[in-house]
Amino acid sequence: MTATTSMTNEPDAQTAAGAGGHSTKTLPPLHSGTAAAPATTSAGSPPVVASTVESVVPGSFCAELWRSVAGIFSAILAHPFLTGLADGSLEEQAFKHYVVQDSLYLREYGRALALVASRSPRPQWTAFFCRCSQQTFEVEGGFHQEFLEYFGTSVAQETAAAERSPNNLLYTSFILATVHERAFYEGLAAVLPCFVVYLEVGKALKQRGSPHPLYASWIEKYGGEEFESIVLQVVRMVNEVSAELGPAQKERMRDLFAQGCRMEYLFWDAALTRQAWPV
């Protein structure tokens, strides 16, 4: 899934900028034998990955959130879909499937961001998330359209008869239900993984690059400074919100964030296998 990427730096300037209950130390569920085990160092521990969130806001609640999903993120980075993006070995049809599913995902994610905007306690945050929501729909006509033109097709053609895959439906339903039914801080935690995971994945893959121009373009987008500035605005909002919460509320945010990160993993897994409904 992708978050918006063409907004300026500060929400206060009225410009806008990417989920419970399982242990955050547990790796995400693996899908039908297709997912790779997390990479390890020679000592058997997960590799150390430089974190943008931790380096920019060290010691913050959001940095703590990110550390709590270290095992999940190691599994994400080791997933064949992402390693295939970096080394160019990913089948193009798997990438096309991902783009189409991401278009369908963003329609629901945009609705979720609009709900977050409506419940934001500060007018600047409302304006910020309204613009986020708008941008998710504009991505279909821009970034995704460019990718699908490579395959000689368009977003409109591909999504006309397409439906969300099981993992896509699971993730979007989780986000929308949380944002609609729960408190603002819980909705914020549910939409956060789409922002932060894509930033950290983009930064990690940018260090490797890709020989495939299509994949290199995707990596550059999410590993670039523009997207980073947007994500860090959301990160700072999360830190401000968490400062007013009690221990139980913070734990709820941790659970929702970890669950969303697991579903990010499942989304890439569904793209790799071109997941479809069995009946």
Residue-level pLDDT, tens digit, the chain, 279 residues: 654 544 333 444 333 333 332 222 222 332 233 333 333 333 343 344 569 999 999 999 999 999 999 999 999 999 999 999 999 999 999 999 999 999 999 999 999 999 999 999 999 999 999 999 999 988 777 899 999 999 999 999 999 999 999 999 999 999 999 999 999 999 999 999 999 999 999 999 999 999 999 999 999 999 999 999 999 999 999 999 999 999 999 999 999 999 999 999 999 999 999 999 999
Size (the chain), residues = 279
Residue with structure tokens 């990110």? 66
Question: Which of 44-60 are b and which e, b meaning 16 or more Cβ less than 10 Å from the residue's Cβ?
Answer: eebeebebbbbeebeeb
Looking at the domain assignment, is residue 240 inside a domain? yes
Strands of 92-237 (E only): list them.
Answer: none
Show the tokens assigned to 205: 């893959």
Which CATH number covers residue 116? 1.20.910.10
Q: How far apart are CA 102 and CA 2, in angstroms?
A: 7
Q: How far apart are CA 144 and CA 112, in angstroms?
A: 20
Looking at the domain assignment, is residue 231 inside a domain? yes
Looking at the domain assignment, is residue 30 inside a domain? no
Looking at the domain assignment, is residue 17 inside a domain? no
Helices (H), the chain: 52-56, 61-68, 70-78, 80-87, 92-119, 123-139, 145-150, 155-159, 166-181, 184-206, 213-223, 225-242, 247-273
C-alpha pair distances (Å), 146 with each of 149, 163, 214, 230, 254: 5, 21, 10, 22, 36
Total structural domains within the chain = 1
Radius of gyration of the chain from Cα atoms?
A: 17
Looking at the domain assignment, is residue 27 inside a domain? no
Strands of the chain (E only): list them.
Answer: none
Looking at the domain assignment, is residue 8 inside a domain? no
Looking at the domain assignment, is residue 44 inside a domain? no
Looking at the domain assignment, is residue 265 inside a domain? yes
Q: Which domain holds residue 192?
A: 57-273
Show the tokens assigned to 191: 């939409």
Q: How far apart are CA 97 and CA 244, in angstroms?
A: 41
